[in-house]
Each structure stands twice: as structure tokens, then as C-alpha cells.
Structure 1
Amino acid sequence: MKEVKKMAQKCFPLNDVDYLAEDLRLFHAGRTVGVMQVTGNDFHTVAGAGMQTIVGKGVAYLLTQIDGLGGVVYANTDNVVFNHDVADALFNRYDAIIIRYDKETNACALKLIKGTPSSEPTKYIPKRSETEYELVIKYVYIVAGVGTITNSDIKDAILNEELCGIAVDTLAKIPTKQYDDQMKSWISNSQADFKKWFDDIKNQLTEDAAGNLQNQINSLNNKVNDLKDIFVVMEEDSYIPPEERKIGRLYFNTTDRVESGFNNEIRVSPNMGLKKV
């Protein structure tokens, strides 16, 4: 067999060149890890008899190492049945159904990981290193003292991108996190700038503008009060004789009108009853 040399600089495919699997993986270097949703409901999992779970067909894409370029495609073409250990008598636990790529064994397969019974059980965290890469697709809640698993005990983890995620091909991938971070940074800076501006304005209003506004309001109130003193309305029962009227005031007599006797019109006296003395 012809030896294939590893090179730091790679190109695929070229004529008359033998390649390693890791070279072929570069063809999918831009794909994100996760379930590929080939069936529309990949790795659908249901409860079986007793302590069993049944995992359906599905396809997933995994890296071959953490921060690596390219990866492998895993396919489950038939149902896989897992037998879970019996429940603890006192404490609950979370089992995990995972897809694991193992570089040392050169294999990729579905695995069942038994959780640790506890009063506060924790969920399995996928391992990712230079030699293995895992995706968590389901958590199964094992209730203490119970001998069966129900569908409600099976928790999906596929949509969690830290655990699994949905695979996205190269041409469809958009670096949204970068834009999201930039937008969040802009919003944060804008909020900080607005808060500083608002605080400055608030302080100015408290010390200067608010005081000036209040002074103007007080001045207007004083003028209104002065007008009340200047205009005096005289009703029929409160008529003030001229000799008793004060200087600088306007007296308004509401009875100072004459009926014209023509079409019920009202003719008001020329001075509208106003007389300044």
C-alpha cells in the first residue's frame, strides 16, 4: 500500500493523489456540528418496555477533535434499543444518550451514559478533546424507586447548541454570533451614553432649569392674581357705587345692557360696562 504523507498544506481533490480520511473531511470544514434532520425527526426517542428507550433513525455530523477542521458523518439506519440500569431506591438520576466519535478506536456510535443518583442530580456534559468528540441528543430522567421509563421522562437536547445543535452546511452558515456581539456592544454603549446624557440633563434641571421654570410659573401666578385685583365683576346685588371704586381697577357691570326690542337682539352699551377710575 502506498504511504500517504501528512502535509500542513492541503488541497482536495487533486489528480493522482492518495488522500487520508482527514483530508476528505476538509470538504465539510465549514459545516457546524449537530443533527442533520435528514428524516425530519432524526433520533426520535420513545420509551420501551420497562427500563428501555428506543432511538430512531437519524444522521449527525461531528468533529473528530475539539477545534478541528472537518469531521465525520454518523448515520443510524435502524432503531437502537437501550436497557437502562434499575433506578436507585432513594435518589433520581439523569442518563444521557449520546453520539461519540472515538479516534483511538476509529469508531462512531450511539452510547448510553448512566448518570449519578443524587438529591440534586446533574446532567452529563459531552466530552470533547483531541481524541474524542460527543453530542448529547437526549436526557432520560430515572425516577427513584420506579421500574419503568415513560415518554415524559425523555428530554430532548438536540436544539441546545452547547450539547448538540442542528448541523448547517458551509454555504448556509452566517457568522451571526459576531454580529450579535457587535449589536449587543453597540446597544450597551448607546445605553451608557444615553444614561450619561439623561443624568446630566436631570442634574441641570434640578439645579438650574427647574428653578427657572418654577420662577416663571410663580411670576405668571402673580400676574394672574394681579389681574384678579384689577378686574372687578359687579353683579346686580353687588353693585359698587363710583365713589367707592378703587383707583387702577376695571369694574365690569353684567347688567349694563339694553334690549333693542328688534328681533330680540341685545345691544350692549358702548363701554361694555367697563369703567376705569
Structure 2
Amino acid sequence: MAVRGFFYNATDLNDKEHMYNGQDMNEDKAPFYKEGVAYGHLQVTAPGGTMEVTVDGGTRTGYAYINLHTIHNTAQLTLTLSQASGTLPRIDRIVLRNDETERKPSIYVLEGAFSSNPQAPELVNNDVIQEKSLARVYVAAGAVEITQADITDERPDKTVCGFIGSQFEELDFSQWSAQFNKWFSSEKKAVEKDHAAFIKEYTAMVQQFQTERTAQWDEWFTAKQEQLAGDVAGKLQLQIDGLRTKVHNMAHKVNVAYLLETIQAAVTVTLTNITTGTVQTAAITENGIGFYITEAGDYTLETNMESVMVTPKRLSIDYMDLMHTTTVSLREGTNMAYIGNYMGTYLLKESEV
């Protein structure tokens, strides 16, 4: 039959389809186990004092699995090694053997050759005989006993023995990888197609934006060229003058205000530019009056009433703000002069004349 199942009851002795043999029993384990020695089983040790070694056995330490056969060493086994050479060493192997022709397993000593550079003997592995090396035993020249130091455990070595393991220890994902790669390739193509469409649309948008902005720039630049054609300096000056007319007519104007409500009479205030000697005089009341100044510099400010300001005050106007109206005011008892605008009031540098 092409498809078989293990195991079904036979209806009677003539039910050939449901008759099984030893090979069927063995094949039932094949998908699940890797062959070798059960972990910790069949250890080779040397009791010492003789040329003997022992191999563990029993229900807890005597199992192996070779060529689909479960092998059980039911009791501890003692093996005797051949006599040593008086001049040359050799290496023997303790071997677990499965023989399909004899249809039975065995454990025996596979003896190596005497040599100044001894090598372990080769194992046999074919369709009929399969061998696993449990241990190497070094037989020194003139040796009369085997010690534990002479024994090398080979059970962990997968090349000559190995431990029984699950067939699922290393999973093969090649089938799933092939399916995933096919799906990923399809998705990649779709994403690349969408990306190409986006780049095309984005590029068109950028080009349209650049075209529109270029046209706007060209229009503005052409207009400026026409404005600046001919007498460039003159046209620029006219534009500057036009801007100046937009600045409130209080620019350069210093408003000096007498803020003492208790004094009703007018006070004469004199503003003198120390550097140029320009003098401006005005009478002010609580409503104040203004002086026009045209340059920064050091000024003296004085009144004709000691009750308002005993001594002249010196003001340093560090810069001229053409965009703001400034106010200088006198305050009772402070002997200080202030300058400010609609943004607030700022203390000017001042000193006694």
C-alpha cells in the first residue's frame, strides 16, 4: 500500500493488511528519534588493578537506539582487553554493534594496532553492520592494568556515537520560507508600484509649485525693474521720503511736561544742546509743550522755578528713534529726568551740569 498506519487491530488471521513485523515496529519510531546512546547510559569505566573495563547496564543505564532498533544491555558487562606490548602502545575501542544478518546487537572490544603513534581502529557502518564507539582505551607499552585515566568517553561525539535525540531538535522551515518569500515578493511589487505612483504625483506637484512661484517672482522682479529704471537713486529717495511721511509727525519731538498739580503757574523750560549750543525755550503747564530735536547728544534741561527743579539736569539721548514719540517729564522730589514713548517710560543717563 502507498499509505500505511501503525497500528490497527486485525479482524482475523487472514487480515493480511493489518499484520505487522519487527521492521514495522521499528519504523514507527523513525520519524521521532535520532539514533545513539541514551543520555548517561552505557558508560565505560575501569575498576583498576586488571586489564578489564565495565560497561553500564540495567533498566536505567543500559539503552541505545541504532538503525531503528532499541538495544538494551540488561546488566553491567565486563570486558577484558588483550595483553599489552612490551615496547609499543595501542588504542582499543569499546564498541556497541548492531548486526542485521545475525539480527542481534553486541558490545565488544575492537582492538587497535601497536604503534609508536597509535590510532583508534575504524568503525564499520553499512546496511548490515552499524557500530557506535562508547569509549577509547589507551593501552600503554608494558601496561598490566587499565585505569580511568586511560579511558576517553566517546559517547558525546556525534561522528562516532552521539546521544539519542529528537528529530525535531532542528526544524526545517524551508517550506514556509518559500511560501513567505513568494508572498513577500508579491507585496513588494505592489508597494513599489504605489511608491512609483506617489513619486510621480509628488514630482508633478513640486513642478507646479515651482512654476507658479517662478511666475510670481518674474512678475514682481519685472515690476521692480520698471520702478528702478532710469534715475535709480532718485526713485529710491522718493520712496524713502514717502515712508518718512508715514511716520507720525511727532518724531524727533521731545514733549516736556510739568506734572505737579499743586503749581498752577506756567514754568519756563530751557533745553540746550551742549555740543552745538542750540537752545530752545518754552513755557509749559500741566498739559506740557514740546521741543523738536534732530540729533542724539548731551542736553541740559532747566526751569525758572527752583520748586520744580533746583539745578539743571543733564540728559544723554543715546539714539534717535524715528518711529516713536518721546516724552520728557519732571517729577516732584526726584530731581530726575525721564524719556519715554508709548511703549513705556525709560530712564536716561543724567548727571549734574
TM-score by length of 2: 0.43
Alpha-carbon distance in 2 for matches of 1:11, 1:116: 49
Q: Which runs of 5+ in 2 are unaligned?
A: 11-17, 175-353
**Correspondences of 1:176-255 after superposition (within 5 Å):** none
Q: What does 1:19-58 correspond to in 2, within 5 Å?
A: 19-30=20-31, 31-37=33-39, 41-48=40-47, 49-57=49-57, 58=62
Hey, what does 1:174 align to over in structure 2?
A: 170
Deviations 1:194-222 (A, max 9, x none): xxxxxxxxxxxxxxxxxxxxxxxxxxxxx
Q: 1:10 to 1:127 in 2, by over 3 A?
A: farther
The Cα shift of 1:125 comes to: 2.6
Whole-angstrom distance in 2 between the partners of 1:175 and 1:150:
42
**Aligned position for 2:249:** none
1:216-245 deviation per Cα after TM superposition (whole angstroms, max 9, x unaligned):
xxxxxxxxxxxxxxxxxxxxxxxxxxxxxx
> Aligned residues, how many?
160
Q: Deviations over 1:33-67 (max 9, x none)?
A: 11112xxx31222213410101112211101xxxx
Deviation at 1:127, TM superposition (A): 1.1
> Is it true that 1:133 corresponds to 2:130 in the alignment?
yes
Could you say if the C-alpha distance between residues 9 and 97 of structure 1 is closer, same or farther in structure 2, counting changes exceeding 3 Å? farther
Partner of 1:90: 87
Q: Which has the larger radius of gyration?
A: 2
What secondary structure does 2:165 align onto? coil
- The one-letter code matched in structure 2 to 1:53 is V
Are the structure 2 counterparts of residues 8 and 118 from structure 1 closer, same or farther at C-alpha, using a change threshold of 3 Å?
Answer: farther
Amino acid in the other structure paired with 2:117: E
For residue 119 of structure 1, report the CA deviation from its aligned partner. 1.2
Runs of 4+ in 1 over 3 A off after TM superposition: 7-11
1:23 CA drift (Å): 1.1
Contact persistence 2:98–2:131 (CA under 8 A): yes
Report the equivalent of 2:230.
Answer: none
CA distance in 1, matches of 2:35, 2:89: 31
Aligned counterparts of 2:126 and 2:2: Cα–Cα separation in 1: 20
Question: Cα deviations across residues 137-181 of structure 1 (Å, max 9, x unaligned)?
Answer: 1111000111111100010001110100011134x43158x9xxx
TM-score w.r.t. the length of structure 1 is 0.54
Kindly state the Cα deviation for residue 10 of structure 1 after the two structures are TM-superposed.
Answer: 4.1
CA shift for structure 1 position 8: 7.1
Q: Which amino acid aligns with 2:158?
A: E
Per the alignment, residue 77 of structure 1 pairs with 74
8 Å contact kept, 1:74–1:109: no
User: In the alignment, is the contact (CA less than 8 A) between 1:125 and 1:163 conserved in 2?
Assistant: no
Q: 1:155 to 1:73 in 2, by over 3 A?
A: same
Which residues of structure 1 form unaligned runs of 5+?
A: 1-6, 64-70, 179-277
Selected match of 1:114 from 111, 120, 141: 111
Alpha-carbon contact 2:37-2:63 (below 8 Å) kept: yes
Cα RMSD of the aligned pairs, angstroms, is: 1.9
Partners in 2 of 1:28 and 1:139 — Cα distance? 30
Report the counterpart of residue 157 of structure 2 in structure 1.
160
Q: Which of the two has greater strand per residue?
A: 2
Say if 1:110 and 1:117 are closer, same or farther in 2 by CA, change over 3 A: same
Write the distance in 1 (CA, Å) between the matches of 2:137 and 2:2: 43
**Match in the other structure for 1:206:** none
1:61 alignment partner, SS class: strand
